[in-house]
A and B are shown apart, each in its own frame.
Chain A
């Protein structure tokens, strides 16, 4: 599979562009500078998506526009179908913000994504962005600012807050990818690391992680394997979460003693990452460094 990369001028489709959220976010992404070339209308389409051309299917839209990326603003039970439709139309980058996609649908979607040599971000993600150039999803403008940090995050709000504070002290982002809070997902932390390694704008990596799963541990192993040589700053949430209780994100669950903050912290510190457990200490750590 070829490596993941982001093209700021990529032609982007919005699947579900005519819903309440769909039309609003299509407009906001466009206003941010994203090259939105078309929307896919639902069956009960509202035809008021300003000047975005509407199509009946991804196939038609790709044929007419040459789009290569797509944002699926559809209900969670429709995500698998939307991903499948996009892939069959030749789309190579798909962002799925919906929360509540069944795990089995996510597994099926991922298998198709892999077969098509494409990349999938999400589900349950605010999306991705290159500040001032591209936004697929709804990361708030107030937190976005061009700068040296390659950001990857499981949580929307925690990344908004942290990047807002860093941006307020002058430190912005080279690229920002929300991997999402679900257990089974498209791109994982470790799989994004080669992209940040190669990206010349990225001088350090900021990771917003949390309890549950093994993604942070996999990231630590990848830092070592790649001999990753840019500083890695990590903020981990959920140190006080009780075992066996899902904390909002479907993936944020400690079960059978796995997925704990201790395991993640020691794996990441073991490979030289700077790990923090409060926003303020992380912001201080990053601002004091020479990134």
Chain B
């Protein structure tokens, strides 16, 4: 997952990374904004790249100008991600902008170090030129990362060696310390006195490593809206992603790959899925809690016309699952739409009988295509 720039900077700052001083501002709390006159940069905080080109960065010379920019962009959406707030920071006088990043290279099973003497928002354009972007892969330890970066540095102008030598050392350490998957500093400002500062920053972190990264977990928990999916997973230990607030089909499904496929097929059939989820039936352990949690999410969907349940159970007993499903529906009486339950696995006849005897509007199917078709019909008109 990608952290907001503000959180990234505040997390790496204690690890020795120099950053321009800045504050996080919520658009709803502009009245309490205290800002001297002077040169400020106002940056929309959003968990996806490409913000600069989408107009999410502005300059301000006063509190009024900063507030204006914030009001104008408070409700903006960039690549489908809502702006979560703003970081206002001191504008920095620099002599040069360079690019430096560390990134997990899954294919190489190592860390890719990338370096360019020309940073900034047009780094992709620079990268088209041969030799503009230098790159090497190293093992995930401090000595290897620094050695790889120093080899690249040799091809850069001499005046960059000192600031970048220091930056490489500190950023590599922060990358490893935080179990990062990406730490990109672009631009990295080189100042007149030969020091450096992280201008913009993207920090991607490994959610699987959160059990050993308490500061990261705390930063994620502090922003339930900005990091909704990660917080959901921390809270409930399974995956749930909102897809379409006006979705017609609520998906109560297990398995990441098959759930993704169902969303694709639902859209191919012209119906809007409300969500993605992977409830992991193998971990229900006799409790309907996860099913209840998903059904409660569905109560927020004004256009949900059908709930599609899909369980391909290798081990899970379907009779037990049927009981949990009925208990979950009892616990969330707001769900009044019909349910199509596609079940396959041990004890299907028991599950079917249990559900049919409940008298609820639940269609039990064994065949996935039939279940999909039924859900598509019940979802109403095509969009």
Q: Which residues of A contact B (CB under 8 A)?
A: 24, 28, 76-77, 100-104, 106-108, 110-111, 126, 138-140, 142, 153-161, 164-165, 181, 183-185, 188, 208, 210-211, 213-215, 218, 235, 237-252, 255-256, 277-280
Pairwise interchain contact B80-A243, C-beta atoms closer than 8 A: yes
Chain A residue nearest to B267 in the complex (CB): A240
Pairwise interchain contact A252-B260, C-beta atoms closer than 8 A: yes
9 contacts between A and B (CB under 8 A): A104-B176, A140-B315, A155-B260, A156-B255, A157-B257, A159-B257, A160-B258, A214-B106, A238-B264
What is the number of contacts between chain A and chain B, taking CB atoms within 8 Å? 177
CA distance A156 to B314 in the complex (A): 10
Minimal beta-carbon separation of A260 from chain B (angstroms): 13
Interface assignment of B377: CB less than 8 Å from any CB of chain A? no
Pairwise interchain contact A181-B104, C-beta atoms closer than 8 A: no
Minimal beta-carbon separation of B39 from chain A (angstroms): 30
Q: Pick from B8-16, B147-155, B205-213 the stretch touching chain A.
A: B205-213
Minimal beta-carbon separation of B373 from chain A (angstroms): 10
Chain A contacts for B261, CB-based, 8 A? 158, 161, 235, 237, 278-279
The digit string for B242-263, where 1 denotes a CB below 8 A from any CB of A, is 0100000000001111111101
Interface assignment of B169: CB less than 8 Å from any CB of chain A? no
Among B256, B261, B265: residue with most chain A CB under 10 A: B256
Pairwise interchain contact A278-B264, C-beta atoms closer than 8 A: yes
Closest 4 A-B residue pairs measured CB to CB?
A: A155-B257, A157-B255, A248-B256, A158-B257
Pairwise interchain contact B179-A103, C-beta atoms closer than 8 A: yes
Chain B contacts for A210, CB-based, 8 A? 257, 260
Q: Given known contacts A161-B258, A210-B260, is B106 in contact with A251 (CB within 8 Å)?
A: yes
CA distance A258 to B294 in the complex (A): 30
Pairwise interchain contact A238-B209, C-beta atoms closer than 8 A: no
Chain A contacts for B314, CB-based, 8 A? 126, 138-140, 160
Interface assignment of B128: CB less than 8 Å from any CB of chain A? no
Chain B contacts for A103, CB-based, 8 A? 104, 179, 181, 206, 208-209
CA distance A291 to B273 in the complex (A): 35
The digit string for B30-64, where 1 denotes a CB below 8 A from any CB of A, is 00000000000000000111100000000000000
Chain A contacts for B268, CB-based, 8 A? 277-278
Interface assignment of B191: CB less than 8 Å from any CB of chain A? no
Pairwise interchain contact A248-B239, C-beta atoms closer than 8 A: yes
Chain B contacts for A211, CB-based, 8 A? 260
Chain B residue nearest to A253 in the complex (CB): B1
CA distance A23 to B104 in the complex (A): 35
Pairwise interchain contact B1-A246, C-beta atoms closer than 8 A: yes
Chain B residue nearest to A100 in the complex (CB): B208
The digit string for B173-201, where 1 denotes a CB below 8 A from any CB of A, is 00010010110000000000000000000
Contact of B109 among A102, A111, A278 (CB under 8 A): A111
Chain B contacts for A252, CB-based, 8 A? 256, 260
Q: Given known contacts A154-B257, A156-B257, A244-B81, is B49 in contact with A255 (CB within 8 Å)?
A: yes
Pairwise interchain contact A246-B229, C-beta atoms closer than 8 A: yes
Interface assignment of B328: CB less than 8 Å from any CB of chain A? no
Chain A residue nearest to B50 in the complex (CB): A256
Chain B residue nearest to A123 in the complex (CB): B208
Interface assignment of B140: CB less than 8 Å from any CB of chain A? yes
Pairwise interchain contact B179-A111, C-beta atoms closer than 8 A: no
Chain B residue nearest to A213 in the complex (CB): B106
Chain A contacts for B181, CB-based, 8 A? 103, 183
CA distance A139 to B314 in the complex (A): 7
Chain A residue nearest to B80 in the complex (CB): A242
CA distance A164 to B313 in the complex (A): 12
Pairwise interchain contact A110-B257, C-beta atoms closer than 8 A: no
Q: Given known contacts A104-B179, A256-B49, is B106 in contact with A184 (CB within 8 Å)?
A: yes
Minimal beta-carbon separation of A125 from chain B (angstroms): 11
Chain B contacts for A157, CB-based, 8 A? 254-259, 312
Pairwise interchain contact A279-B368, C-beta atoms closer than 8 A: yes
Pairwise interchain contact A161-B79, C-beta atoms closer than 8 A: no
Contact of A243 among B79, B265, B312 (CB under 8 A): B79
Pairwise interchain contact B258-A158, C-beta atoms closer than 8 A: yes
Chain B contacts for A139, CB-based, 8 A? 314
Interface assignment of B369: CB less than 8 Å from any CB of chain A? yes
Interface assignment of B2: CB less than 8 Å from any CB of chain A? yes
Chain A residue nearest to B48 in the complex (CB): A244
Pairwise interchain contact A107-B110, C-beta atoms closer than 8 A: yes
Minimal beta-carbon separation of A236 from chain B (angstroms): 9
Contact of B139 among A101, A111, A238 (CB under 8 A): A111
Contact of B264 among A28, A215, A239, A246 (CB under 8 A): A239
Chain A residue nearest to B206 in the complex (CB): A103
Chain A contacts for B107, CB-based, 8 A? 188, 213-215, 218
CA distance A154 to B257 in the complex (A): 8
Chain B contacts for A279, CB-based, 8 A? 261, 265, 368-369
Pairwise interchain contact B260-A247, C-beta atoms closer than 8 A: yes
Minimal beta-carbon separation of A27 from chain B (angstroms): 11
CA distance A204 to B202 in the complex (A): 42
Pairwise interchain contact A237-B264, C-beta atoms closer than 8 A: yes
Q: Given known contacts A248-B278, A278-B264, is B48 in contact with A243 (CB within 8 Å)?
A: yes
Interface assignment of B115: CB less than 8 Å from any CB of chain A? no
Among A101, A104, A181, A184: residue with most chain B CB under 10 A: A104
Contact of B241 among A100, A164, A215, A247 (CB under 8 A): A247
Pairwise interchain contact B47-A237, C-beta atoms closer than 8 A: no
Chain B residue nearest to A251 in the complex (CB): B106
Q: Given known contacts A139-B314, A157-B257, is B276 in contact with A248 (CB within 8 Å)?
A: yes
Pairwise interchain contact B241-A183, C-beta atoms closer than 8 A: no
Chain A contacts for B49, CB-based, 8 A? 244, 255-256
Interface assignment of B344: CB less than 8 Å from any CB of chain A? yes
Minimal beta-carbon separation of B351 from chain A (angstroms): 15
Contact of B140 among A108, A238, A239 (CB under 8 A): A108
Minimal beta-carbon separation of B278 from chain A (angstroms): 4
CA distance A139 to B212 in the complex (A): 31
Chain A contacts for B368, CB-based, 8 A? 161, 165, 279
Pairwise interchain contact A238-B260, C-beta atoms closer than 8 A: yes
CA distance A96 to B182 in the complex (A): 25
Minimal beta-carbon separation of A270 from chain B (angstroms): 18
